[in-house]
Structure 1
């Protein structure tokens, strides 16, 4: 549950709530809050920041898919804590745009903290389309392999 975890592809609108919550914890944890090492720390940070009492059990259930229909107040607290629209959690017509925006925010964070080098992105943009497509496929394959190894 670390921000050092590689940025994974944002969940699709049809992704499970567990996948969406996990992605937020790994990629959108607020910079002014220490990254949680446990669900207890995650729940405490969310509760402290939002005033909504979120238990570590609730965080665990959300992350593991054991709770896929939480109360609106729980989702509202998560949305407020992570700075995402409430629509992120449901399959709405705007979900794809929300997820694209969140992916860009996570990418900017990785650029700011030096995890991704800016010169790599500039070089990627300058590649011919066919080569860029090949690199895209390699990155997606590497991300899938990392998810399999970590998951």
Structure 2
């Protein structure tokens, strides 16, 4: 029984993934482009008749063997580059993917720098030695002794 389970596990792990059919490609593309008919909604989520027609057109293109890139290029030619829900990771679109990461790193670096300066500044604040003359030191010692004497006399009574 264990041998069968191990064999099934090996087959499941090593099996070649199924290739996406035209319907899967069409659905995936409609999820990755913005609807030119409904503002702020992907084509997949747009309920208009025009969106249904465009999804059917994408389905026909995928069934005809068009590549994803060819379908994207056709849609961009017809509706403009803003049809993509996310900018492509090439050309100027690369900046849209890289700049947020760089901004995050810069912010983390600035926060680290400020925190380090603040921690070092507060640690150094109380470590400056006070220089007193022998006369000042004797006066402070006498005042402390007087305070200790008053406290001890209050405790005794």
Query: Is the TM-score greater than 0.5?
Result: no
TM-score by length of structure 2 reads 0.24
**Structure with the bigger percentage of helix:** 2
TM-score by length of structure 1 reads 0.25
Q: Which has the higher contact order (CA 8 A, sep 6+)?
A: 1
Q: Which has the larger radius of gyration?
A: 2
